[in-house]
Chain A
Amino acid sequence: MTVGCTVEPKWVDMHESPEIELKLISDPMYLCGARELVGCIAKRIGFNDMDCSKIALAVDEALANIIRHGYNKSFDRPIWIGINPIKPEGDSIGGIEITIDDEAKQVDPCEMKGRELEDIKPGGLGVHIIQEVMDEVRYEKRETVGMRMIMVKRAVRTQESPRLSDAKCNANACCVTSIPKKSSKTRTS
């Protein structure tokens, strides 16, 4: 899938209903489609290739966690992905807000923590990866059933990367840099 560059994205305030919504069932075979969509939208917003890949990874991990833990590997349950571009503000060219809703059993949002990485063992890395990649991650109980996860990634403009609205688009001209995070070696999660 490719995203054309002829139409300017409509910047919206966060928490409005999403510009893009995707409903899928909890079958792992559809993870690739969700990744592709999110990565392409992130690219169109202006993130560089590496950040697009990491944002897609965060979404993949969130979906995999829902399938594995929320739905206990039931492959026919609903998941909704909502995507909003975030309006440029100050030095930031904006970013992307991604909301993922499910109908899984509700859990205390405070329990959604990554494990310590010092103990090298298979599994349990998903939440850590999401927290490492994204700038903001929140979990909420939905009103009736299921959980909601809200992830935000912001980016800063660099000299080489004009504001998206200034550039007559060419995907390569829209590269921006995500806000640097602390070194993964020093983070605790």
Chain B
Amino acid sequence: MAKQQSDFITIDRPEQGVVVIAPTTDIDMSRSPELRTAIRQELGGGVHKLIVDLCDVNYMDSSGLATLVEAMRNASKTDTKLVICHMHEKVSAIFEIARLDSFFSIVESRDDAISL
């Protein structure tokens, strides 16, 4: 299992073709560009499933949402399945406010995301 880590993002590869990107803190305008870059880099590498694990994200603003919407669009272009897991209640609230809760595949745990 390869594992890379930056200050803000952890990247795991639990299986061939599966990548887990896990931000390690809140996502706002100051952090979302780094998340966007990480997702873009992974989508270009023959990945068939990209999991965004929000376990350590207690707060996300619309820049984080925009990053995930863009990721979903890019994933569909490369035939990659994008799954979000471990979403906290307060983060879930912003998805509902923006009416994006049904746009994404959202599951409880990382294991659920891997087996989906």
List residues of A whose CB falls within 8 A of some B CB. 27-29, 31-32, 35, 49-50, 53-54, 56-57, 60-61, 64, 67-68, 117, 120-123, 125-126, 128-129, 132-133, 184-185
Contact = CB atoms under 8 A, between A and B. Distances in A.
B93 to A, nearest CB: 7
A125 B65 contact: yes
B3 interface: no
B86 to A, nearest CB: 17
Nearest to A30: B30
A50 B30 CA distance: 23
Contact of B62 (A32, A50, A56, A126): A126
Q: Which 9 A-B pairs have the closest CB atoms?
A: A28-B30, A122-B66, A125-B62, A28-B29, A122-B70, A53-B90, A122-B69, A64-B29, A123-B66
B82 to A, nearest CB: 14
Grouping DSSP codes into helix (H, G, I), strand (E, B) and loop, the B interface class, with mixed when no group exceeds half, is: helix
Nearest to B25: A32
B98 A54 contact: no
A60 B17 CA distance: 36
Contacts of A125: 62, 65-66, 98
B93 A50 contact: yes
Given A28-B30, A64-B29, A126-B62, A132 B103 contact: no
A67 B62 contact: no
Interface string B41-83: 0000000000000000001011101110110010000000000
Contacts of A35: 28, 59
Interface string B21-35: 000001011100000
A32 B28 CA distance: 8
Given A61-B61, A61-B62, A68 B29 contact: yes
B30 A31 contact: yes
Contact of B97 (A32, A67, A129): A129
B98 A67 contact: no
Contacts of A132: 97
A184 B96 contact: yes
Contacts of B59: 35, 53, 56-57
B62 A121 contact: no
Contacts of B29: 28, 31, 60, 64, 67-68
Contacts of A57: 59, 61, 94
B69 to A, nearest CB: 5
A24 to B, nearest CB: 13
A184 B99 contact: yes
Contacts of B103: 120
A122 B69 CA distance: 6
B100 interface: yes
